[in-house]
Amino acid sequence: MKMNKRLPVVFVAILLMGLVFAPLAPAATPVKIGFVYIMSGPFSAYGQFAKKGAELAVAEINAAGGINGHPVEAYFEDSTGKPDVAIRAFRKLVFQEKVNYLIGLDSSGVAKTVVPSIPQMKTPLIITHAATPDVTGSVCNRYVFRISVNLAQNVKAASLLAAETGATTWTTVGPDYAFGHQSWEYFEKYLKAIKPGMTFLPKDEVAFPPFKTTDFSPYINKVMQSKADGVLVSLWGGNLIDFVRQGKEMGLFNGKKQILITLGAAVEVLGALKDKMPEGLWVGTRYWFLANDSARNTAFVKAYHDRYGEYPSYNAHGAYGAVYTYKAAAEKAGSIDKEKIIDALEGLTVELPVGKITIRPEDHQALTDACWGKTAADPAYPIRVLKPIKIFKAADVTPSVTDAGCKK
Amino acid sequence: MNGAAYVKKTILLILGTALLLAAPAILPLYWIMITTEVLIMGLFAMGFNLLLGYTGLLSFGQAGFFGVGAYTVALILSHGGTSVLLSLGAAVVVALITAVVIGYLCVRRDEIFFAMITLGFGMMLYTVAHNWVELTGGSDGLPLMMVPPLSFFGCEISLFDPVQMYRFVLVMVIIGIWILWRIVQSPFGLMLTAIRENRERLAFVGANVRQLRLAAFVIAGGVAGLAGGLFGLFNAMATPDIMHWSFSARPVLMTVLGGMGIFFGPMAGAAIYFGLEQMMTHLTQNWMIFLGLALIPVVIYFPKGILGSLVAWKKTVPQKRKKPLP
Amino acid sequence: MESFIINLLNGLSWGMLLFLISVGLTTVFGVLGVLNFAHGSFFMLGAYLCMQVMHIVPSFWVGLLVGPLVVALLAALVEKQLLRRVYGRDIAFQLLLTFAILLVLDDGVRIIWGPGYHVVEPPAVLAGVFSLFDNTYPIYRLFLVFAGPVIGLMLWAFFRFSRWGKRIRAAAMDPEMAEGIGIRVPLLFTAVFALGCWLAGMGGALAAPHQSLAPAMGERIIIESFIVVVAGGMGSFPGAFIGALALGLFESFGTVFLGRVQMAIPYIVLAAVLLIRPRGLFGQED
């Protein structure tokens, strides 16, 4: 009986309180973040990974009170992996959706051609996947940052590993576009400096299969017939899956040659190959979910696995980390203003699941550790895992600012 | 064409141009940029229509000339060139020369053989752009770090501003369309249509079919070069993607969507294409399947294209009205 | 020498796969007069359906049997409902319609099976390797080298000697005349399109143990099979066979000798053939 009498009073009280507080606490203006990844077509797996990571970060941040009190809203656009579509997507996000910050880009070629147009939009962009050294090198500018491991860092780690393998003559199998060619050029440059006396096969004796290749046997044959005892493989995605299966059939992985696969520890590749992935190959990646047991990483892997039922790929980590990087920059700046955020991003140190990263103010490349490991079976996981894991410190693998060649 | 219809058409054209010039005052910035793209791709497709719609030749290598235009502009401007207009002029000239060489080898073939041989040459150009790293930047393409301002009699117009860029593209596209219009209306244009209708008869009356076709091919190539140059300026880039055969499919799609052989059909097709794309990518990530599902009825039920069907429908309506009731 | 033989085998096995796909394409063109842009998508569908069947009945052979059959049924539906309406129209319409079908099939596959990569195991009998000089070579690839001519010969015998085959050839030569002597041409066209797509699906299912399955696998192969069909001569059986083998071998040996130009090999072959023989190697001049 008492309850019934009290109920209207409580109701009125709540209403009054609402009236009093409503003008005091207006719904905070949201911080809008625009994401541009490959969302459709053959490579949409990468965009879907990024979207999962981004949505997890946004949900976590909103549950904890947003960025500087502003709730976060995410906008996703499809680059389709083509530069003109990607630039249109950026225009839409900036001019139509009026986003505060941008995150994205899978393809290196797209990144390199789109980056010079970002200053026109006066909005910061954090790149999380595209690895071309140029976006924090020859075409760098005030508005573009990258928090993921770039090609130079990854390949520098590869050459440090290569120096210890005992192989003395090196060849490569890489996709026939800038990424494959650059991987080989950087590898040669770094390994020569680390360990003089190494031989590298000339460019017409190494293998650069076109991107559309499905039959790698001629290239595998070429590598097996060559006098090289070490092979740098920079294929990725479906190309890498086909290469590994066909190479296994033809006996490429029988131990005669040392093999380093720069993007072999990607979960979409390991997940497709499962136990068909040979054991004992050196594989690299930008983020490996078992690489460190910091509280930050453990929490991320658990939250991601609980939400999606799978382990986070490096692309999921990239988008996730970029959202948190903006959060940290906004807190450091005490503002969500675009230009102030850029100033705050320069030199910012933030702890991400991958570890502590610091954004170099001179070229906007993050100093982040590079991860390599040897493939191994583990009954606890459905896919091959890395054992042992080798972490290369950022300071050891990142080229100097002068070498990066950024003139902002 | 009678006088009244001519006046009506002229008024429509002037109204349309005025509307496009005034667009920046009405449309939000993003839509101005989309309109810029519609104009560029529309011009590209209108040049292509001279081949498919007027001459009856399906070229699957037009992206090659488009790319040649974009690369010419990007190369000149990134190697110290400062005149945007001169670089565009060079884009047209280089595309014309390329089209003469390729056209000379291709115009003897018909139908699917013409389509396939142009595809072959287009893809060879693509390979050059993709693999000649020293000149073209390889697979990454050439990013334009800056687009120099236009200078007209001492006053400078910055093309960095999207609205100014839009106005510049509009003027260039109108010039391109005007040239195409003069060509289509000339005796030469009428001969082209005659080739499509009946090649043997035309050859019989003494016309050199091969030369006529080559001329059409070269003009279409030059227009593609101009459109490609504008594309390079607008997006500040030239990349191999725009020379791939799948890019050559775009003007085909736009022309058939809008209406083959109708002068403004491809421009309407370009507008429909971008409109559809904007709508679908907004609604769903599975836009490819919906684009396919939307295309099927268009191809089956609108053989004249959207604009073509509209024109045909307008022509039949007044006649029906005039019919006396029984 | 051993490098030569391995390259030869590589070229042959890839060429045979290309032959299976191209022979379907060329048959459809020869009879229906339609160049099918979606042919590669039926190839992809064959691979995915083979995989799907293997999830239910874990046998590659069952997948190889059932997968392409389902593809053929779907193709019959496509012909009856859609393709039939554009016969005799400008090739631009035929290409666009089949391109629209390609978009629907490719994206459909991506929606159903996801954008990721899938892997199909070869049957146990063919899984191993045999030693070739100092190297090993997969048995499955040798199987491909033999499967191509066997299916090709069966097809040739079918067209040459069976009643249906004779009817199809009659309809291809002169549809009106064929109708006149009592052949049900529309039904025949449906059957031919289904047969062409069955061959594509067969190629897909045979390719499945050899390459990863992804929604792009059809797009990669379609232009090359177009080239084979056009360079070989539209509608020509021996043209498709010689064209596919030549392209397979050119690409295999090109990787060794040509370096930077190899990406353009198929296009150079195509242009060269068409410049010398306007209707392709085995095409009939008119």
Q: Is B98 inside any structural domain?
A: yes
Q: What are the angstrom distances between the C-alpha of A202 and each of A170, A188, A221, A315, C148?
A: 10, 11, 17, 33, 37
Q: Is B182 inside any structural domain?
A: yes
- Provide the domain limits for residue A328: 31-149+292-368
Q: What type of residue is A152?
A: A
| Mutant choice from C104, C110, C247 vs B, greatest count of B C-beta within 10 A | C104
CA–CA dist A352, A357 (Å, integer): 7
Say yes or no for a CB contact (<8 Å) between B127 and C264. yes
pLDDT of residue C128: 76
My answer on whether A174 and A258 are in the same domain is yes
Say yes or no for a CB contact (<8 Å) between C138 and A249. yes
Residues of B in contact with A117 (CB under 8 A): 235-237
Which chain C residue is nearest to residue A212, measuring alpha carbons?
C220
Q: Is A407 inside any structural domain?
A: no
Assess whether pLDDT exceeds 70 at residue B163.
Answer: yes
pLDDT of residue A238: 83
My answer on whether A118 and A176 are in the same domain is no
Q: State how far residue B244 is from chain C, nearest Cα, in angstroms.
A: 12
My answer on whether A320 and A194 are in the same domain is no
Question: What are the start-end ranges of the H helices in A170-227?
Answer: 178-194, 217-225
Pairing of strands B155-157, B150-152: antiparallel
Q: What are the angstrom distances between the C-alpha of A403 and each of A61, A116, A142, A195?
A: 37, 20, 18, 19
pLDDT of residue A25: 47
Residues of B in contact with C92 (CB under 8 A): 52, 58, 252, 255-256, 260
What CATH number is associated with residue A230? Answer: 3.40.50.2300
CA–CA dist B303, A230 (Å, integer): 59
pLDDT of residue B287: 79
How many domains does chain B fold into?
A: 1
My answer on whether A244 and A387 are in the same domain is yes
Q: Is B188 inside any structural domain?
A: yes
My answer on whether A40 and A108 are in the same domain is yes
Q: Name which of A157, A153, A147 is nearest A352 in CA terms.
A: A147
Say yes or no for a CB contact (<8 Å) between B237 and A113. yes
Q: State how far residue A32 is from chain B, nearest Cα, in angstroms.
A: 17
Tell me the residues of B at the C interface, defined by beta carbons under 8 Å apart: 52, 56, 58, 105, 108-109, 111-113, 115-117, 119-121, 123-124, 127, 130-131, 245, 249, 252-253, 255-256, 260, 286, 288-289, 291-293, 295-296, 299-300, 303
pLDDT of residue B194: 80
- Provide the domain limits for residue B172: 28-244
Pairing of strands B150-152, A230-233: unpaired
- Yes or no: say if C201 and C46 are a contact pair by the CB < 8 Å rule: yes
- Yes or no: say if C54 and C63 are a contact pair by the CB < 8 Å rule: yes
My answer on whether A157 and A212 are in the same domain is yes
Say yes or no for a CB contact (<8 Å) between B293 and C226. no
CB-facing half-sphere around the CA of B89: CA atoms within 13 A: 6
Residues of A in contact with B281 (CB under 8 A): 77-78
My answer on whether A280 and A143 are in the same domain is no
CA–CA dist C139, C174 (Å, integer): 44
Q: Which two tokens stand for residue C116?
A: 């990721």
B211 in contact with chain A, both atoms CB, cutoff 8 A: no
Q: Is B190 inside any structural domain?
A: yes
Residues of A in contact with B140 (CB under 8 A): 108-109, 112-113, 132, 134, 177-178
My answer on whether A162 and A96 are in the same domain is no
Q: Which two tokens stand for residue B74?
A: 């990007």
pLDDT of residue C235: 80
My answer on whether A278 and A330 are in the same domain is no
pLDDT of residue C86: 84
* ipTM computed for the complex: 0.83
Q: Is B277 inside any structural domain?
A: no
Low-confidence residues of chain C: pLDDT under 50: none
pLDDT of residue B8: 81
C108 in contact with chain A, both atoms CB, cutoff 8 A: no
Say yes or no for a CB contact (<8 Å) between B287 and A91. no
pLDDT of residue A109: 87
Say yes or no for a CB contact (<8 Å) between A40 and B285. yes
Which stretch of A366-380, B32-46, B113-127, B289-303 has the lowest confidence by average pLDDT? B289-303
Low-confidence residues of chain A: pLDDT under 50: 1-3, 18-26
Q: Is B155 inside any structural domain?
A: yes
pLDDT of residue A11: 54
My answer on whether A110 and A238 are in the same domain is no
* Candidate from A45, A217, A271 with C-beta closest to C10: A217
How many domains does chain A fold into?
A: 2
My answer on whether A110 and A139 are in the same domain is yes
Q: To the nearest 10°, report the CA torsion of C163, C169, C174, C178.
A: 10
Say yes or no for a CB contact (<8 Å) between B143 and A112. yes
